[in-house]
Amino acid sequence: MTQTDQQTIPVGAMIDEFRVTRVLGAGNFGIVYECENVHLDETVAIKEFLPTELARRDADGQIAPLSPATADAFNWARDRFLQEARTLWSLARPVPHRNIVRVTRYREANGSAYMFMEFERGQPLSDLLEERGTLTFEELRPIVAPLLDGLERVHAANVLHRDIKPANILIRPDGSPVLIDFGAARNVALSGETSVFTTYTPRYAAMEQHYPGGDQGPWTDIYGLGATLYRAVTGVTPKSASEQLLGHIQEPAAELCRGRYPDAFLQAIDAACALKPEDRPQSVNAWRAQLLSDLPAAEDATVVLPTVSATEVTRFSASSAGTPRTPTSSQATGAVAVEAGLPPPRRIRVWILATLVLAVAAGASAWYWWTEHRSDEEAERAAIEGSSRQPEDAPLRTEPEPTSKDRDVAETKPAPIPAPAVEPFAPHQRFSDRLNSGGSGPSMIGIPAGEFAMGSPVDEDGRNSDERLHAAAVDEPFAMSRTEITIEQFSEFTRAVGYRTEADRESACLRIDDEGVELVADLSLSWEQPGYPVTREHPVVCVTWNDARAYAEWLGEQTGREYRLPTELEWEYAARATTTTSRHWGDNLEVSCDFANTADETVLTGAEETRRIEGARSECLDGHLYAAPVATFQPNLFGLHDMLGNVAEWTCSVYDPVYGGGQAKCLDATQRRGPAPIVIRGGSWLTSPALARSAARDGLPSNLGLNTIGFRVLATNRPWEGRASVTTHGSADE
């Protein structure tokens, strides 16, 4: 085995008697390969444990911790991986069940661990529901009955799945179902968790999963399958338990679907979706009697479902099912296989605080790795288990364009239309483009082209190893929003197109816990209510990279000018504003409170001093416990406010720790698999001042929203062409 840029085993290498034929998916905690037995006619999928935050593959193929500081966490996580494998292996004993994904064996090797699984082909139920909306009772019955049998086997082994949802049910080409992705499985016979991480999907998770110490049992999985059936019959994503507790009542399936399904079937679905555990059926057998008894269809009834080709395979996904998704060209010929990356362990360095914990809190979508380029043939993957304050600027006039009313996801790609000429801006010019829907866009300022030293010198205080100093250049002028995008500006977009953020649609906004240590998913948070007092002039947060891209594309559609997120190179160039010091005001932290809202002595005047790490404050007062209204602090020499501090900001570039060229371009969202790790910059109100430097950088999955991360937009003198450009005019001296 040799080392590759993506840390994967090369095609043609061997894992025991199996030859690697292709990589099916890679996540932050593991890689899945399709392999063929060189002695027998057998194809398997092999999951290799490789946590990219903790370890890497050496030149000799061995996997080793990144440093002594990560060794303990690596060994702990590897042990949990093997425990998970044993749990899944036990489900196939004494006889494998056809409707449960099968782990055939597991082993340690190369300093890591491997899980061998049967290779399954099919289509996730989530994709089928996305295409069809709902399924008839005649289509659902031959799916439900085998799933109940499989789930009963799981419970008989004292195992709970704990993440049943449409994305984790694979429909084979013959129409039979298989329950996949036991990454959140728990052995109820043991006192502790057996999975590498514990997670759930809020809209399909029972109430007892939302808080520590909840009494979980078979009734917990029954809720997940009941919520899945609710989606299948109503066409509506179920409300989360937390939403229902807050008074957002879920309309019963028996009322929404009366006359279209047997009454007993609908009543049983509603019973499974009961909030209180004691109000649900307590076992699969009891629920089966309610769900499928006294119904005319035969147990072995054969139903013809939409054709699934042999190349269509399961999506190994932890995102909420039912979420609108625009297929890529490759998905038209074969479903793209995506390996769910497990949340990373405690990080050595992080923007939000000094750490990220070994398990991202429940409700966060699982983290995936990425592929930036692939041909149509390579895209046929297979796997098993599966997004200001307005000064009085002179608006630039543009010709009106039609407004899209149907955009809901960032990947929506309007058909290209002839774009009118845009009025060019000049360096240092302040302007706002007119919006076709009325009003003006964000206040922008022209940034001249130029060269600079990107990264940090080795003697800079707080420097990290991923800040390699190198020559870089911006070849063409661009304009940057003078402030972070505000709640008011983002609300204009959501009102215009009826947009719902990704966190609202499928997971939750993340915040730091009350001890200031871990990230937790909080369903009460949103971009309008981020968990602290805000006005319309505060920066919008709780938005994912996809939400930020959707807003930028809407600006392009409204103005006729190209708007997008800045590349990492453009962001640092704008943040430095011709300076070469660690911050645009210099290296003196004692005056930082005049220029940036970070963790400082203000916290000592409030009641939440535990939410900052001791010793990580500036010895000054910026006057803000949380985010401040935009433009509260002094701008840099380019006239940009809050480039450091206040809220961290999404860029459009994929995180690369060695600066291999990705910093100068945007990730092409149509060419990726799963949520890539996107660069965030600038630090936030919760950031240690040492991390609020022009060169400091980090990456997070594109589908996460935090109440410390927002964004600003970039504009060019080019006309809008239907979606954000995927290349820019930055360059770097490699």
For the stretch 223-245, pLDDT in tens is 999 999 999 999 999 998 878 87
Mean pLDDT of the region 649-671: 89
CB-side exposure of 95: number of CA atoms within 13 Å?
A: 3
Peptide bond into 94 cis (omega under 30): yes
Averaged pLDDT, 276-287 = 93
Residue 27: pLDDT band by 50, 70, 90 thresholds?
low
Residue 386 reports pLDDT greater than 60:
no
Average pLDDT over residues 473-477: 95
Q: What are phi and psi of 397, to 5 degrees?
A: -90, 135
Structure tokens at 523: 């369903």
C-alpha distance from residue 191 to each of 154, 187, 188, 362 (Å):
18, 8, 7, 19
Measure Cα distances from 545 to 181, 305, 334, 710 in Å: 26, 36, 26, 9
pLDDT confidence band for 605 (50 / 70 / 90) = low
Q: How far is CA 352 from the centre of its chain?
A: 16
Decide: 717 and 480 in contact? Cβ < 8 Å: no
- The pLDDT assigned to 182 comes to 66
Is the pLDDT assigned to residue 455 strictly greater than 90? Answer: yes
Cα dihedral: 630, 635, 638, 640 (round 10): -10
Mean pLDDT of 355-361: 32
At residue 392 the predicted structure's pLDDT band, cuts being 50, 70 and 90, is very low
- What integer pLDDT is reported at residue 155 of this predicted model? 86
**Beta partners for residue 472, in sequence order:** 452, 732
- N-term to C-term CA, the chain: 28
Q: What is the mean pLDDT of the chain?
A: 76
Rg (the chain; Cα; Å): 26
Sign of CA dihedral 43, 328, 131, 509: positive
478-481 β-sheet, strand order: 395-396, 430-433, 444-447, 478-481, 714-719, 561-564
Is the pLDDT assigned to residue 648 strictly greater than 70?
yes
CA–CA distance, 261 with 222 (Å, rounded to integer):
20
Alpha carbon distance 602, 619 (integer Å): 9
In this prediction, residue 387 has a pLDDT band, given cuts at 50, 70 and 90, of very low
pLDDT the model gives residue 672: 55
Between 480 and 418, the higher pLDDT residue: 480
* Exposed/middle/buried for residue 571 (C-beta within 10 Å: 0-12, 13-18, 19+): buried
Residues in the chain: 734
Between CA 605 and CA 163, with CA 543 as vertex, the angle to 5 degrees is 105
pLDDT digits (tens, 9 = 90+) for 519-553: 788 888 999 999 999 999 999 999 999 999 999 99
Q: What is the model's pLDDT at position 356?
A: 35
Q: Is 413 marked as a binding-site residue?
A: no
Q: How confident is the model at residue 669 (pLDDT cuts 50, 70, 90)?
A: confident
Q: Which amino acid is at 595?
A: F
Question: Minimal CA–CA distance to 365: which of 316, 314, 320, 411?
Answer: 320
The pLDDT value recorded for residue 505 is 78
Query: How far is C-alpha 65 from the chain's CA centre?
Result: 25
Mean pLDDT of 181-210: 59
Task: Give me the mean pLDDT over the 59-80 stretch.
Answer: 85
How far lies 410's CA from each of 50, 325, 398, 481, 499, in Å?
30, 9, 24, 20, 10
In this prediction, residue 407 carries a pLDDT of: 39
Give the count of alpha carbons within 13 A of 727, CB side only: 4
Quick: pLDDT tens for 130-172: 999 999 999 999 999 999 998 988 888 778 888 899 988 989 8
* Chain segment 678-713, per-residue pLDDT in tens: 999 999 998 877 778 999 998 888 888 999 999 999
Relative to beta strand 509-512, strand 519-522 is antiparallel
Q: Are 239 and 227 in contact (CB under 8 A)?
A: no
Q: How confident is the model at residue 28, as a pLDDT?
A: 63
> Residues 19-32: what's their mean pLDDT?
82
Nearest to 366 by CA among 408, 314, 312, 320: 320
Break the chain down into helix, strand, coil percent, rounded to 5. 25, 20, 55
| Stretch 250-276: mean pLDDT | 94
DSSP per position, 116-163: EEE----EEHHHHHHHHS---HHHHHHHHHHHHHHHHHHHHTTEE---
What is the structure's pLDDT at 629?
96
Structure tokens at 466: 């991923």
The pLDDT value given to residue 526:
93
Burial class (CB in 10 A: 0-12, 13-18, 19+), 374: middle
- Three-class DSSP category at 458: coil
Please check the confidence at residue 670 and state whether its pLDDT lies above 80.
Answer: no
Q: Could you give the CA distance from residue 733 to residue 423 in angstroms, rounded to a whole number?
A: 32
Q: Domain spans of the chain?
A: 14-121, 428-732
Nearest CA to 31 out of 57, 60, 68 is that of 57
Q: Looking at the predicted structure, is the pLDDT value of residue 410 above 90?
A: no
Look up residue 221 and give its two tokens.
């999985």
Q: Given this model, what pLDDT does residue 516 score?
A: 63
385 or 601: which carries more pLDDT confidence? 601
Closest alpha carbon to 511 in 667, 647, 367, 655: 647
Residue ranges of alpha helices (H) inside 530-644 are: 545-559, 568-576
C-alpha separations of 317 from 181, 336, 375, 473, 621 in Å: 8, 11, 22, 39, 44
Place 212 in a pLDDT band, splitting at 50, 70 and 90: low
Reported as type and span, the H/E element at residue 113 is strand 112-118
What does the alpha-carbon distance between residue 148 and residue 154 come to, in Å, rounded to a whole number? 10
Alpha carbon 391 to its chain's center: 35
CA distance 164 to 474: 48
Residues 397, 314: contact at Cβ < 8 Å? no
Range in 32-41, 85-94, 253-262, 366-375 with the lowest mean pLDDT: 366-375
Average pLDDT over residues 592-606: 76
Residue 731 has pLDDT above 70, yes or no: no
**Is the domain covering 14-121 a CATH 3.30.200.20 domain?**
yes
Residue 84, SS3?
helix
> CA–CA separation, 595 vs 480, rounded Å?
18
Single out the residue of 648, 645, 633, 641 nearest to residue 595, CA to CA.
633
CA distance 595 to 642: 7
Dump pLDDT digits (tens) for 303-345: 323 322 222 222 222 222 333 333 332 222 222 222 222 223 2
Identify the pLDDT of residue 75.
87
Confidence of residue 354 (pLDDT cuts 50, 70, 90): very low
Q: CATH fold of 428-732, please?
A: paralog of FGE (formylglycine-generating enzyme) (3.90.1580)
